[in-house]
């Protein structure tokens, strides 16, 4: 099975390298030939060649670029398609690609570390064999969750954008440690390892974050003082607002894509 990756930007390149490590046969295409060639993987001379060689086509171009490709893509509607395009819903992809087997992926940028969290939704006509192969592809670069597409905007607010919130939290923790005398690079390393150990505890114990946090907060201790400071500064409310804002923006992008489809 050959997967042709169309678009070799940060996400496309990360996924291509992950699939290569998992033993997939690949073919790459990018309008910038040097970008595709720089990955050291098989490269198609043009989009038509990439599509002809593919069993599954993974669309990883920018959302504003995809309209210029639809005519060529729809000429290969016997292919199976996976889209990682933000803000482009399945309804638009089904209409534009005129293909049966379509999956919409929403990964985050941790694909390059094989730790992406990816939401998956399928076109109604997608067959079981394609669904399984698409799921296996998603799991090759992290964890995968099959979701109703209506929940994709919320997923983006939680995970797609949420990874940036985590980066910001690590930075804030590190800056707090710098104020207390720990050099910033070492503080970032410690904060990152602390969050990794936190995630491991949630998965290994099966306990919720509130229960685990309560276990750490001994009466009159250091942790409860820090937790109370977070609460007083509105930490939880700020995070909830961040998820809501990113979700709302995702809804707007999908609405715009649907309006453009209806005007065609």
- Residues of the binding site for NADP(+): 6-11, 60-63
Backbone angles phi, psi at 221, to 5 degrees: -90, -170
175, two tokens = 């800056």
Residues 166, 53: Cα–Cα separation, whole Å: 39
The four Cα atoms 55, 150, 251, 101 give a dihedral, to 10 degrees, of 10
Q: Residues at the annotated binding site? A: 6-11, 60-63
């Amino acid at each position: 099975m050959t997967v042709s990756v169309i678009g070799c930007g940060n996400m496309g390149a990360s996924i291509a390298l992950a699939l290569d490590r998992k033993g997939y046969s690949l073919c790459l295409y990018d309008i910038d030939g040097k970008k595709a060639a720089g990955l050291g993987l098989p490269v198609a001379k043009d989009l038509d060649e990439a599509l002809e060689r593919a069993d599954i086509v993974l669309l990883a171009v920018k959302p504003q670029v995809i309209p210029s490709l639809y005519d060529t893509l729809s000429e290969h509607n016997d292919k199976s398609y996976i889209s990682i395009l933000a803000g482009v819903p399945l309804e638009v992809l089904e209409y534009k690609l005129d293909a049966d087997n379509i999956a919409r992926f929403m990964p985050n940028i941790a694909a390059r570390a094989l730790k992406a969290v990816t939401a998956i939704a399928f076109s109604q006509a997608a067959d079981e064999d394609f669904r399984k192969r698409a799921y296996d592809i998603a799991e090759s670069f992290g964890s995968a969750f099959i979701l109703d597409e209506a929940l994709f905007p919320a997923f983006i607010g939680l995970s797609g954008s949420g990874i940036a919130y985590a980066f910001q939290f690590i930075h804030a923790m590190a800056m707090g440690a710098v104020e207390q005398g720990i050099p910033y690079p070492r503080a970032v390393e410690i904060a990152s390892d602390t969050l990794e150990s936190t995630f491991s505890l949630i998965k290994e114990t099966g306990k919720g974050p509130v229960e685990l946090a309560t276990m750490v907060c001994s009466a009159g201790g250091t942790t409860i003082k820090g937790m109370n400071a977070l609460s007083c500064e509105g930490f939880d409310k700020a995070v909830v607002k961040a998820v809501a804002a990113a979700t709302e923006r995702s809804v707007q992008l999908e609405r715009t894509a649907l309006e453009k489809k209806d005007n065609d």
